[in-house]
Structure 1
Amino acid sequence: MPGPKELDPSSSPRAMVGSELRHAREAAGMTQPELGAPLFVSGSFIGQLELGTRRMQLEYAIKFDEILDTGGFFVRNCRAATKSKYPDHFADAVEAEAIATAIKEYAPLLIPGLLQTEAYARAVFRGGRPTATEDVIDQLVEARLERTKLLSDPTTPLFWGILDEATLRRQVGDAAVMAEALRNVANLMRRHRVIVQLLPFSAGAHMALEGALKLMSFSDAPPLVYLQSMGSGQLLDDPASVARYELTYDLLGASALSPRESLAQIEQLAEDYDHEAQQQ
């Protein structure tokens, strides 16, 4: 069995704190489950902290300093390690997304963030924050576009999206914005960089009617599920929950159009939006 992944402590504050946590735990002769027990968390949760996929909260930092006798190191570094440009409910998911080997996402209302164009993202943020300053919107768009760089690698991570038909029919921005956004998705599909399936309205009721779903897999850590709702989100690692949502995703894929059929529909809608934009 391969050993744990070697982290580059200079890559981020979280990576540094995670690396030190693993070093201190091993020096104390403790396993991940043994360290997690006094905190009432699983061994896999400790592993995620060590990998930097979970943000270290102050309450955990205090306990680690006590248990591992690290002289306040984790409390001192907790703030830097948890600093993020993203909302608290989403920051852990973004960190996990950045090191995932596979991402499967069901999008019920909006094109997934990793597939968005600048104009589409700007329209999304402006719609959700009608009184925000342009500087605020610019910062949000910049953070969104930074995430899309994950797909600049030709093979990793694998991205498989299931888009509800509503994501293509709901006009975010004007028709030109939608045409560009759908062409971007189609181009990624044609380059074989992503797998996308369209879940048509005709599929009817399904197991994910209540919201968005993201599954993330890793080379050396258990899979995670991220569930998002308005202004909040939840990152789950419980094996039973993960298995349930994996089944949900598989059933969605079985009800969706094939990637080939989905590409044809997406390109046709992009043409329709182009025609509408020319008329306008």
Structure 2
Amino acid sequence: MPPRRVITGRSQEPRQRFAEELRSLRTGSGASLRQLGERLGWDWSLFGKMEKGETLGGPEVVQALDQHYGTPGLLLALWEVAAGDKTQFRERYRRYMTLEAEAVSLWHFAVSVLPGLLQTPGYARELLASGGFRGDELTRQVEARMGRKDLLEGEGAPPFRTILSEAALRTALRDPEEWREQLEHLAEMAERPNLTLHVLPQSAGLHGLSSTDVWFLRLPDARTVAYTEHGYGGDLIEENVAVERMQRAYDATRDLALSPAESRKFVLRMLEEVPCDPSI
């Protein structure tokens, strides 16, 4: 981790301070904006706008920059101050994002919404729009979410296991073609060696996670933390007893789910049910 720089001489206006820090880190690394975009998987013009103070970007792209520059939490903290909305990006979520970047394996359960790591741009856009994002901010949030794919696709990507409730798979997008693309993406991702996908059928009935979207992160020091979330926030759980209790509920839920092979067939059957565009 590089030594902290003295703030003297830097702008004290939060948004400009954030932009200056981004520009300083990039130029110090010797990378061009285009090279930075290629390395992180985002459009390089986004980084240019962030360095000019024209946009703040989303928390996911800032997390990726923190990881890239070896400054865990620094840019996220500056981003939060610049955004000026502590209810939107609380301390626990910031800490979760830092831990996610360090995780050696991830487990997940979805109640009604597909996880961001498996969403297509069309799915992310409709979901985020339903949460109130509009215009340029909506576009930035979708780009940031898509940029997280590096977590699963990059070199040394951690193993990821997800259990998707049938309800999440039955909640289709308004556009049939966008929904078809999302299901095709799930079927494709289910074949990746580092990803295990289960479907929990509605016939499984009630279970210990019936109302809880949850992530488990296995950390390099062998600890496991959990993060539960809903549409307007989430909670990071680090206390061992609470995490172990949730893990037992997760294991019991996985026992009720279809096998990975059966789950992929389930997704493919759903794909066959999507109406085709007669003009194609």
TM-score, length-normalised on structure 2? 0.67
CA distance in 2, matches of 1:134, 1:170: 24
Deviation at 1:173, TM superposition (A): 3.6
Equivalence for 1:177: 178
Equivalence for 2:273: 272
- Contact kept in structure 2, 1:155 and 1:193, CA below 8 Å: no
* Among 108, 111, 121, the residue aligned to 2:111: 108
Deviation at 1:160, TM superposition (A): 0.1
Q: Percent identity?
A: 28
Deviation at 1:79, TM superposition (A): 4.6
- Contact kept in structure 2, 1:199 and 1:257, CA below 8 Å: yes
Q: Which AA in structure 2 matches 1:246?
A: Q
1:197 to 2:214 alignment: no
CA distance in 2, matches of 1:221, 1:52: 22
SS at match of 1:278: coil
CA distance in 1, matches of 2:249, 2:231: 21
Count the aligned residue pairs: 210
* Among 78, 81, 95, the residue aligned to 1:80: 78
Equivalence for 1:224: 225
- Contact kept in structure 1, 2:108 and 2:161, CA below 8 Å: yes
1:92 to 2:95 alignment: yes
- Contact kept in structure 2, 1:101 and 1:157, CA below 8 Å: yes
1:242 to 2:243 alignment: yes
Deviation at 1:91, TM superposition (A): 3.0
Q: Which AA in structure 1 matches 2:164?
A: L
CA distance in 1, matches of 2:210, 2:159: 24
In the superposition, relative to structure 1, how do residues 158 and 126 fare at CA in structure 2: closer, same or farther (>3 Å)? same
User: What does the per-residue CA deviation read over 1:96-119, in whole Å, with 9 as the maximum and x for residues that have no partner?
Assistant: 212211110000111111111111
* Among 126, 129, 139, the residue aligned to 2:129: 126
Deviation at 1:153, TM superposition (A): 2.4
User: Equivalences for 1:15-30 in 2 at 5 Å?
Assistant: none
CA distance in 1, matches of 2:130, 2:172: 11
Equivalence for 2:264: 263
In the superposition, relative to structure 1, how do residues 169 and 87 fare at CA in structure 2: closer, same or farther (>3 Å)? same
Unaligned runs of 5+ in 1: 1-7, 14-50, 57-76
TM-score, length-normalised on structure 1? 0.67
Deviation at 1:158, TM superposition (A): 0.7
In the superposition, relative to structure 1, how do residues 187 and 255 fare at CA in structure 2: closer, same or farther (>3 Å)? same
CA distance in 2, matches of 1:195, 1:79: 33
Q: Which AA in structure 1 matches 2:177?
A: A
The CA RMSD over aligned residues, in Å, is 2.8
Deviation at 1:168, TM superposition (A): 0.9
CA distance in 2, matches of 1:157, 1:134: 34
In the superposition, relative to structure 1, how do residues 126 and 272 fare at CA in structure 2: closer, same or farther (>3 Å)? same
